Amino acid sequence: AQTVTQSQPEMSVQEAETVTLSCTYDTSESNYYLFWYKQPPSRQMILVIRQEAYKQQNATENRFSVNFQKAAKSFSLKISDSQLGDTAMYFCALPPEQGGSEKLVFGKGTKLTVNP
C-alpha cells in the first residue's frame, strides 16, 4: 500500500521569506506522479505543482518549486517570497499503484501560516 507522510503539522513564515514543506512517500511503482495541493480556508483543493517521477529536473511554478529525490522518496515543496495568500493547508499526494491521477493518496497536511 502506498503511503504519504508529512511530518510537519504546522509551520509559519514571515512574509517575503522562503519556507520548505517536507513530504516522504512509499510506492512500489517505478513511474508515477507526485502532487502538492493547497487548501485555503475556502476549502477548495488547488493543484500547486506536479512532478513526474521519471523526470530528473525538479518542477517549478513561479514561486513554487520542488526538491524531488527519487531514491530517498522525498518530495519537498519550497515557497519563495511567501505571500499572505499562501496561508493554507498544504497536502502532498500521489496516485496509488496502478491508479489514475485522480484517485489520490494524501498526506495529513501541513498548516502554513504566513505572517505580515
Partner 1 sequence: DAGVTQSPTHLIKTRGQQVTLRCSPKSGHDTVSWYQQALGQGPQFIFQYYEEEERQRGNFPDRFSGHQFPNYSSELNVNALLLGDSALYLCASSFRVGTEAFFGQGTRLTVV
Contact criterion met (CB below 8 Å) for 113 and 12: yes
Contact criterion met (CB below 8 Å) for 93 and 106: yes
Q: Is 55 in the site for partner 1 (CB under 8 A)?
A: no
| Of 30, 57, 72, 103, the one binding partner 1 by CB under 8 A | 103
Q: Which amino acid is at 37?
A: Y
| Of 11, 13, 45, 53, the one binding partner 1 by CB under 8 A | 45
| Of 43, 57, 71, 85, the one binding partner 1 by CB under 8 A | 43
Contact criterion met (CB below 8 Å) for 25 and 73: yes
Q: Is 108 in the site for partner 1 (CB under 8 A)?
A: yes
Nearest distance, CB of residue 61 and partner 1, angstroms: 13
The H or E element that residue 79 is part of is strand 74-79
| Of 93, 94, 112, 114, the one binding partner 1 by CB under 8 A | 93
Q: Is 104 in the site for partner 1 (CB under 8 A)?
A: yes
- Long-range contacts of the stretch 47-55 (C-beta < 8 A, 24+): 48/77, 48/90, 49/77, 51/75, 53/29
Query: By the criterion CB under 8 A, which residues form the site for partner 1?
Result: 4, 37, 42-47, 50, 91, 93, 99-109
